[in-house]
Structure 1
Amino acid sequence: MISSETINEYLARLASREPTPGGGAAAALHAAQGAALVAMVGRYTTGAKYEQHAETVQRIIRAADGLVVDALRLADADQHAFQGVIDSYKLPSGTEDLKTARTAAIQDALILAAQTPAQLIKLAGAIVDLGTELFDVANANVISDVAAAADAARAAATTARVNIDINMVAIKDAAARSRLAGQTDGLEDKVILAADALVGRVRGRILG
C-alpha cells in the first residue's frame, strides 16, 4: 500500500519501468498533501487569538484529516484499478469465446479505472472549499500554505481529468461513456477556477 511506504520507496516505484503506480496515484498524493496542508493551517489557527472561530476551525481540521485518509485510499485504489486494466489485456484470446471474454474484461476494467479519478476530482474540490473557508480566519503566518493546498488540489483535479479522458477514449460502450461524462464533465474546471481564485486571494493578502 502506498500509504505504508516511505517516500523514497514510493518514488523509486513511481520512477521504475512499471505501469503502477502512475499518474493516477501521483494525483491522489497531490490531493493528500493539499488536505494535509489545510489541516496544518487549521492547527496553527487555534488558541485564544482565534477562539471566536474555534468551532469552524476544528470542523475544517477534522474534515481535512478525513480527506487525507480518503486521498490515500484513492491512491491505492487507482493503482489496483489500473493493474486490473493491465491484467485484462493479458487474458488469452485464442478462440472467439476467449476473445469475447477478454474484450468484455477490458471494458469492465476501463470503466472501473475511470471511477477513481472521478472521485478524486470531487475530493480535490472539497479541499479547495475547505481552504477557501479557512482563508478568512487563518493564521497569517501560514497563509501561503493555503495557496499551496489549493495548487496541490488543482494538480490532483487536472491530472485526474486526463486519466478519465484516456480511459474514456478506450471505452466502447456509449452509455458507459455518457454516464461517466455526466459524473465528471466540467467538475475540474470548477476546481481550477476556485483554486486560482483562492491562490489570488492569498497572494493579495501577502502582498497587500
Structure 2
Amino acid sequence: MRSDTLDRFLWDLAARVPAPGGGATAGLHLAQAAALLGMVARYSDGDRYARDADTILSVRNRADELRVVGIGLAEDDARAFAAVTAAYALPRGTEEEKAARSSAIGWALVEAGRVPARVVREAGQVIDLAERLRPIGNPNVITDVGAAADAARAAASTARLNVEINLAGITDPLARMELAEALDGVDDVLRRADKVTADVREQIRR
C-alpha cells in the first residue's frame, strides 16, 4: 500500500473487493494527522521558537514515528480483513470442517479487531502531540494542527466502528473484553480532538 500512488489506492478503495476499506482508511487518517503535526513542527524553528525547541523536536520526532505507524496499520488492516474473508470461504461440508471454519473465523475476527483497536490508541497519542504543539507552534500554519486533530478524530471514530463490527462476531469472552476495553477512551479522544480544533479556531480569530 505504501508504494501505491494515491490514485491507485483510491481505485482499490472504490472497487468491489474486501480490502482496503474503512479500517485501512482509519490508519491513513492517523498517518495524515501525524504528518501534519510533523510539518507544523518543522515550520516552528528559529529564534522565535527557541524557548520551546525541545518540546517541538520531541513532537516532531514522535509525529514522524506515528506517521509510519499509521501507514503500517492501514496495511495490517487490509491483511487482517483478507484473512477474515478467507476464513469465511473455508469449506463447511462436514462437522469437522464446520468446527475448523468457525474457529478460523473467530480467530480472524479477533485479529481484525486488534488492528483498529491500536488505531484508537495511537490516535490518542496524536492528540497528545496536537495539544502540546498548538500553543507553541508557528501561527502561520496553526490551522494544520486543527486539521491534524480532525484527522486523528476521524481515525479514532472510524476505528471504533471497525472494532464494534468485529466484536459482533466474536464469542470468546476474553477477546471481547480486550477489544471492548480498547474502546473505553474513544469518547475522550474525540472530545479532546474537538477541543484542539476549537482552540485553533479561537486562536485565528484573535
Normalised by the size of structure 1, how large is the TM-score?
Answer: 0.97
Q: Secondary structure at the match of 2:17?
A: coil
Q: Which residue of 2 aligns with 1:156?
A: 155
Q: Secondary structure at the match of 2:2?
A: helix
Q: Which residue of 2 aligns with 1:206?
A: 204
Question: After the TM superposition, which residues 47-86 of structure 1 pair with which residues of structure 2 at under 5 Å, given as runs?
Answer: 47-86=46-85
Q: Which residue of 2 aligns with 1:130?
A: 129
Cα distance in 2 for partners of 1:51, 1:150 equals: 25
The number of equivalent residue pairs is 206
**Deviation digits for residues 139-172 of structure 1, max 9, x if unmatched?**
1000100000000000000000000000001112
**Amino acid of the residue matched to residue 187 of structure 2?**
D
Identity %: 46
Q: Which residue of 2 aligns with 1:88?
A: 87
Question: After the TM superposition, which residues 163-178 of structure 1 pair with which residues of structure 2 at under 5 Å, given as runs?
Answer: 163-178=162-177
Question: RMSD over aligned Cα, in angstroms?
Answer: 0.8
Cα distance in 1 for partners of 2:178, 2:116 equals: 14
Cα distance in 1 for partners of 2:196, 2:183 equals: 22
Question: Does residue 191 in structure 1 map to residue 186 in structure 2?
Answer: no
Cα distance in 2 for partners of 1:175, 1:157 equals: 22
Question: After the TM superposition, which residues 20-59 of structure 1 pair with which residues of structure 2 at under 5 Å, given as runs?
Answer: 20-59=19-58
Cα distance in 2 for partners of 1:179, 1:54 equals: 39
Q: Which residue of 2 aligns with 1:116?
A: 115
* Structure 1 residue 83, shift from structure 2 partner: 0.3
* Deviant stretches of 4+, over 6 Å: none
Cα distance in 2 for partners of 1:13, 1:26 equals: 12
Question: Is the 8 Å Cα contact of residues 143 and 200 (structure 2) preserved in structure 1?
Answer: yes
* Structure 1 residue 109, shift from structure 2 partner: 0.2
Indicate the larger mover: 50-59 or 145-154.
50-59
**Amino acid of the residue matched to residue 7 of structure 1?**
L
Q: Which residue of 2 aligns with 1:140?
A: 139
**Deviation digits for residues 39-90 of structure 1, max 9, x if unmatched?**
0000000012111111111111000000000001100000000000000001
Question: Is the 8 Å Cα contact of residues 117 and 183 (structure 2) preserved in structure 1?
Answer: no
* Structure 1 residue 188, shift from structure 2 partner: 1.1
* Structure 1 residue 175, shift from structure 2 partner: 2.8
* Structure 1 residue 19, shift from structure 2 partner: 1.1
**Amino acid of the residue matched to residue 151 of structure 1?**
D
- Gaps of at least 5 residues in structure 2 are none
**Amino acid of the residue matched to residue 59 of structure 1?**
S
**Amino acid of the residue matched to residue 82 of structure 1?**
F
